[in-house]
Amino acid sequence: MISPVAWRTPPRTYGAWETVASNITEELVRRGWDVTLFATKDSITNATLQAVVERGYEEDSQVDAKVCEYLHLSEVFEHAGEFDLIHSHYDFMSLAYSRLMKTPVVITIHGFSSPKVLPVYRKYNGHVHYVSISNADRMPDLDYAATVYNGIDTSSYTFNAEPGEHLVFLGRIHPDKGTHLACETARRAGRRLIIAGIIQDRGYFEEKVKPYIDDVNIQFIGAVGIEGKNKLFKQAYAVLHLNELPERFGLVLVEANAAGVPVIAMDQGSCREVIKDSETGFLVNNVDEAIKALDRIQNIDRNNCRARVEKYFSIKSMADGYEEVYNQILNKPVTA
Amino acid sequence: MISPVAWRTPPRTYGAWETVASNITEELVRRGWDVTLFATKDSITNATLQAVVERGYEEDSQVDAKVCEYLHLSEVFEHAGEFDLIHSHYDFMSLAYSRLMKTPVVITIHGFSSPKVLPVYRKYNGHVHYVSISNADRMPDLDYAATVYNGIDTSSYTFNAEPGEHLVFLGRIHPDKGTHLACETARRAGRRLIIAGIIQDRGYFEEKVKPYIDDVNIQFIGAVGIEGKNKLFKQAYAVLHLNELPERFGLVLVEANAAGVPVIAMDQGSCREVIKDSETGFLVNNVDEAIKALDRIQNIDRNNCRARVEKYFSIKSMADGYEEVYNQILNKPVTA
């Protein structure tokens, strides 16, 4: 398992790819797989840790990120012969080594940082086994072994059978995430909105979000950790996720559903894969539709929200998905 | 032969590493070696050109430098089995692939961009054959196959048997290069100085160099090409190169000598390898010594300057040096 070396695996705070790599690794070990995790030396795992980079290059000003990357990846591929299969979370850079040895390589494509990286994925198409994190995030001209949704640790999210009073926006404060559309929806629907998240785009916040904030009807509480999220979800009537850019996956939607909270999400990107319309939330196209959806929130069975996460977006379901991919490659009977 | 893909090989203007790669490649082809040059697709060579990157990433805003690098290097190493030997000019990144195939790899270390890259050179020490471009630029804890000095095309430089009247500073205007020390030497010696080169450090130029410039005794003429250099060398009594940082190699010293011009250089880094004290110039430690050396310039035989370049710093001598390295690795009798 190749984790990135930007952060420790699992990361102390931020580090989405390292989190996923850690979740899969630990669950596979629990299921009896013999896993070697390639990550930073300070990583924590029940797998065998093989490491040459002391600590995440984002946490260590003494090192060069590119040097860490080359030392880390060459270490993996120099030992490739010792493994039946390599599963990479290290983006296009890990593809470049894949034809220099015989071990099959699976890569989870956590996202295309830019169309400029596509030539590398095109070159190794059909050779490396590509896994997408949603069907929406697939490139039409690439071949995929599977879509495996990211899974969360559902035990971290407290289920709330009863709805709260307020609307909640949770996520980065950025135009892509449509924070201002959540504000507009709340204002016009006459409901309280609590906004939580890091301000990623300060200009956007000042110009488009702050004018709505009155600390009575619309409140901003900054970034929250897992405890803060659980507290927010307890108060939540619904989560508003009116993103203006297609989501690759949409972790917040899954977290809200895990807590039993229905989500009103813009019907873009992967949202319709994560949210089942009228069952775990509503898919809308604009603020008008979002306001109408609010009237139907009481029709959602909150048990369905939680059950859908357990089934499709848990660490268990994610590990099931990867086991199926591995077994196909290793020609083992599919057990999932 | 792995050239970088920052620029075309040979480069249109700037691109020192691509220039060296091109010079070696063309001379080896002339001598009958079967050479495949890995470079940009628009490169010009008499070798077999193998390329996947359209044009230099510094000349193409449509591409990502890191993507080009990975596509370029993986192409080389995926074809490694077709070659008896790989000679890289691509810095530490090319080392990372060297244990994944059997073809021996020679790398010309054009310089350590930072101490942070040393861990990669240490990892592959003894496995990849390291070539330094001067003895001064070696790291004490690395093993080297040879020092091979960079070679220039001596036919581009017109030899001047007779000295000119002026002092010349040629190079980047930067504190490392000691432009202000050249000014101070000229002022105190009562000689005219012509300064040519790009201003790389504007603050330094304004504060430390410009106050000397009076357009009579000390003149600044900006950057010059090969014609401008030849014109300057014709006017030159001596070149002043009072660098404050050790030189890795010192191309300007070689160019001046090729034109028959003695060089007064600071005795730092590779200068004492390039300049033979009292024969092709003088090695000094400060401005006082530089001023005294000026009185002895007439003792230098300008034919010696040219002859030393032909012998040690020409394309021919460079190719001889690399042939010796290749033959040692390939266990062929040494012919040089």
Tens digit of pLDDT for each residue in A115-164?
999 999 999 999 999 999 999 999 999 999 999 999 999 999 999 999 99
From the candidates B63, B69, B117, B120, which should be mutated to test the interface with A, based on the most A CB atoms within 10 A?
B120
Place of tokens 């080009």: B68
Contacts of residue A100 in chain B, CB cutoff 8 Å? Answer: 74, 77-78, 97, 100-101
Q: Using one digit for the tens of pLDDT, what is the confidence trace for A199-240?
A: 999 999 999 999 999 999 999 999 998 999 999 999 999 999
Q: Is the ipTM of this complex over 0.85?
A: yes
Question: Is the pLDDT score of B332 beyond 80?
Answer: no
Q: How many CB pairs under 8 A join A and B?
A: 66
**Residues of chain B with pLDDT > 70: what percent?**
99
Q: Name residue A13's amino acid.
A: T
Nearest residue in A to B70, CA atom: A96
Of the candidate ranges A14-23, A94-103, A327-336, B134-143, the one whose mean pLDDT is the lowest:
A327-336
- Interior angle at CA A138, CA A133 and CA A142, nearest 5: 120
CA distance A174 to A171: 9
For tokens 């009116």, the residue is A242
**Rounded Cα distance, A179 and A184, in Å:** 9
Interface of A with B (CB under 8 A): 62-64, 66-67, 70-71, 73-74, 77-78, 92-93, 95-97, 99-101, 114, 116-117, 119-120, 123
Instruction: Tell me the average pLDDT across A171-184.
Output: 95
| Nearest of B48, B132, B49, B139 to residue B321 by alpha carbon | B132
Q: Do A100 and B96 touch (CB under 8 A)?
A: no
Cα dihedral B262/B264/B270/B276 (nearest 10)? 50
Backbone angles phi, psi at A18, to 5 degrees: -65, -35
pLDDT band at B329 (very low <50, low <70, confident <90, very high): very high
| Per-residue pLDDT tens digits for B73-106 | 999 999 999 999 999 999 999 999 999 999 999 9
Query: What is the overall mean pLDDT for chain B?
Result: 95
Query: Do residues A298 and A282 lie in contact, with contact meaning Cβ atoms separated by under 8 Å?
Result: no
Residues 6 or more apart in contact with residue B252 via CB below 8 angstroms: B170, B171, B239, B241
Residue B113 has pLDDT above 90, yes or no: no
User: What does the alpha-carbon distance between residue B282 and residue B262 come to, in Å, rounded to a whole number?
Assistant: 8
Question: What's the rounded Cα separation, in Å, for the pair A219 and B247?
Answer: 61
pTM of the model: 0.89
- The answer to whether A97 and B93 have CB atoms below 8 angstroms apart is no
Contact B133, B109 (CB under 8 A): yes
Q: What is the pLDDT of residues B272-300, one digit of tens each?
A: 999 999 999 999 999 999 999 999 999 99
In this complex, the residue of A77, A96, A123 whose CB is nearest that of residue B73 is A96
B281-291 burial, b at 16+ Cβ within 10 Å, e below that, comes to bbbbeebebbb
Query: B254 and B309 in contact (C-beta within 8 Å)?
Result: yes
CA distance A66 to B93: 9
Q: Are B260 and B302 in contact (CB under 8 A)?
A: yes
Backbone CA torsion sign across A141, A144, A146, A150: negative
- As a whole number of angstroms, the distance between CA A194 and CA A154 comes to 23
Confidence check: pLDDT of A73 > 90: yes
Do the beta carbons of residue B160 and residue B230 sit within 8 Å? no
Task: Check residue B171 and give its pLDDT.
Answer: 92
- Chain A residues with beta carbon closer than 8 angstroms to that of B117: 64, 67
Q: Kindly state the tokens that stand for B193.
A: 């100085």
Query: Among residues B27, B48, B266, B261, which one has the least CA distance to residue B152?
Result: B27
Nearest-angstrom CA–CA distance, B274 and B280: 9
A98: enclosing H helix or E strand: none
Over residues A244-260, mean pLDDT: 94
Give the pLDDT confidence score for residue B15 in this predicted structure. Answer: 85
Find the chain B residues whose C-beta atoms sit closer than 8 A to any C-beta of A.
Answer: 62-64, 66-67, 70-71, 73-74, 77-78, 92-93, 95-97, 99-101, 114, 116-117, 119-120, 123
Residue with tokens 């080169």: B197
Residue B336 pLDDT level (bands cut at 50, 70, 90) = very low
Checking if the pLDDT of B221 tops 70, the result is yes
**Exposed / middle / buried, residue B40 (Cβ in 10 Å: 0-12, 13-18, 19+):** buried
Of the pLDDT bands very low, low, confident and very high (cuts 50, 70, 90), residue A332 is low
Q: Give the distance from residue A75's alpha carbon to the nearest chain B alpha carbon, in angstroms.
A: 9
Question: How does residue B331 score in pLDDT terms, banded at 50, 70 and 90?
Answer: confident
On average, the pLDDT of chain A sits at 95
Tell me the two tokens of residue A3.
């984790």
CB-based contact A97 B93, cutoff 8 Å:
no
pLDDT exceeds 50 at position A22: yes
- Band of the pLDDT at B13, cuts 50, 70, 90? confident
Phi, psi for A173 (deg, rounded to 5): -80, 100
State the pLDDT at residue B333.
55
Nearest to A78 among B73, B99, B114 (CB): B99
Q: B64 and A114: CB-CB below 8 Å?
A: yes
DSSP-assigned letters across all residues of A199-245: BS-HHHIIIIIGGG--SSSEEE-----HHHHHHHHHTEEEEEE--SS
Q: Show residues of chain A in contact with B76, CB under 8 Å.
A: none
What is the structure's pLDDT at A336? 43
Residue B74 and residue A96: Cβ atoms within 8 Å?
yes
